[in-house]
Structure 1
Amino acid sequence: MSFDLPHGCGNAEGDVIEPGRAYGFFTDTTLCIGCKACEVACKEWNQLPAEEEGLSGMSYDNTRDLSATTWRHVAFVEQMDEAPGHAGPRWLMMSDVCKHCDPAPCLEACPTGAIFRTEFDSVVVQQDICNGCGYCVPACPFGVVDVDEVDGKAHKCTLCYDRLKGGREPACAKVCPTDSIQFGPLDDLIGRAQERTRALHERGESDAYLYGTPDSPGATGGIKKLNAFFLLRDRPEVYGLPAAPSLPSRRIAPAFGAGLAAFAGLALAATALLGGGRR
């Protein structure tokens, strides 16, 4: 079963959304102008409240970060460009969102089955099953998932699951005026992203690279790929992204092994002391 997809900024006329295919976002940060149209569209469609604090005093960033009520966040990073002929400030802008990881750390940590992978390969929290335990919050290496103080449930981007089921692209991609946020089947998006990166390199912008595609930064440490991946122009940490995000099981196993080794060492030492005392 498939649905006609209305024409949007990041999609070609006549595209369809088919359950059973993997969909996601390709965010080209070199095209982001910081207009925040994606933030507004996300809040309007999902009926999320505005930030109570208002302007943060941190550049033009009023939402500060992703949260239970902010599922799209436009980050502003101001730098001094010291390249010859380009001296002056340089702005790096990125519309951040849930990465819908494959495999997903939050899904791995959820004890109730509230978090599941949909027929579009996105990751969604079922509010009627979530018990608010919060295990998914530290499990997410991107700081995406958050527990709402009002209802006590975990919340994050759903890739507009309700819109996808109706054959409509996510609200944020629909309104993006520069095609910085592009939505579509992952295999198509990855090919498009690779072409864009090559074009930038040919133009002399050798610092451009992909984050979150298979075998690239952001898709190591146990996570094979991000269903929302990015084209960046500086180190991941500059954008607040980890270079090698990992799964909870990958983080726990080494610590557990180290604990067992330490316990075994103490046990051997105690045995030796007791044996020496008997002699």
Structure 2
Amino acid sequence: MAERMGFFTDSSVCIGCKACEVACKEWNQLPDDGFVFEATSYDNTGMLGASTWRHVAFIEQAHEVSVHGDDGVDRWLMSSDVCKHCTNAACLDVCPTGALFRTEFGTVVVQPDICNGCGYCVPACPFGVIDRREDDGRAWKCTMCYDRQRGGLEPACAKACPTDSIQFGPLDELRERAEDRLARLHADGHDEARLYGENPDDGVGGAGAFFLLLDEPEVYGLPPDPVATTRDLPAMWRWAGAAAVSLAGAVAVAFLGSRGRGSAS
């Protein structure tokens, strides 16, 4: 297997230009989202979905009024969200057809020609990333531009990002780079900065796409403690197996007992 590749998205330098969204749609030939204007936001796509594999969220925050009585200054947080390509990917665990698979780069990809539209992967994702298209029912999500990676190219979103907010490369190197960036921000007084999804010991085994955030995950619409929804499956299968053996034993005892009573009569 090739070296595991991933995304490090540094929201502290994201300017909300949505170049990543446009590049993603153009390269992957994704349909539009109906051009529905979100009247309460500059965000025109709303969320990740079957036709939006990169989504830049606009989060407006009002600061408290200062002690001098000055008006509060609004702060805009930008975050380019994407599939996390989890180490412990629940979507992969529940797919009955093998449409979802782990690539040689460690990413998780849906094969649309194999997907039967069962939808099991949709509720399995702890981040609500995967979605199905209404026209054919099949599931779709970010592939981290698997076709481009196989050709030695970086994903379209990272290529188009003008501020290097989206960085692509070997996952271990990205984690080191992210730790250095976080340390610099903390040294500059940005104590609220934090990494999200970089820890291999978290509930999904670490993400292949992780983030530097300037506030709590919930502010960005991210679960604070994501957990692979299939983490208990091995224990459940063991319990089911033990129950089946016990049931079979009870049936056998009852059957032999009934035969013994029949012979005695």
Shared topology, TM-score over 0.5?
yes
Mapped contact 2:94–2:124 kept (Cα < 8 A):
yes
Partner of 2:49: 67
1:226 maps to which of 187, 207, 230: 207
**Percent of matched pairs sharing the same residue:** 62
> Normalised by the size of structure 1, how large is the TM-score?
0.80
Name the CA distance, whole Å, in 1 between partners of 2:39 and 2:233.
38
Mapped contact 1:105–1:246 kept (Cα < 8 A):
no
Name the CA distance, whole Å, in 1 between partners of 2:64 and 2:186.
19
Partner of 1:152: 137
Shift of 1:59: 1.1
**Shift in CA distance, 251/78, structure 1 to aligned 2, threshold 3 Å:** farther
Partner of 1:29: 11
Partner of 1:139: 124
Partner of 1:113: 98
User: What is the SS of the residue equivalent to 2:230?
Assistant: helix
Report whether the alignment pairs 1:185 with 2:170. yes
> Normalised by the size of structure 2, how large is the TM-score?
0.84
Q: Where in structure 2 are the equivalents of 1:44-59 lying within 5 Å?
A: 44-59=26-41
Mapped contact 2:131–2:141 kept (Cα < 8 A):
yes
Whichever residue aligns with residue 52 of structure 2, its letter is T
Name the CA distance, whole Å, in 2 between partners of 1:167 and 1:250.
34
Aligned-residue CA RMSD (Å): 2.1
Shift of 1:75: 0.4
Would you say how many aligned residue pairs link Structure 1 and Structure 2? Answer: 235
Which blocks of at least 5 consecutive residues in structure 1 are unaligned? Answer: 1-18, 257-279
1:101 maps to which of 86, 91, 97: 86
Report whether the alignment pairs 1:20 with 2:5. no
User: What is the SS of the residue equivalent to 1:30?
Assistant: helix
Whichever residue aligns with residue 56 of structure 1, its letter is E
Structure 1 segments, 4+ long, off by >4 Å, are: 83-86, 251-256
Partner of 2:60: 78
Shift of 1:80: 1.1
1:240 maps to which of 201, 221, 227: 221
Name the CA distance, whole Å, in 2 between partners of 1:91 and 1:83.
17
* Higher mean C-alpha deviation, range 117-126 or range 50-59: 50-59
Shift of 1:55: 1.6
Name the CA distance, whole Å, in 1 between partners of 2:13 and 2:158.
13
Name the CA distance, whole Å, in 2 between partners of 1:116 and 1:255.
23
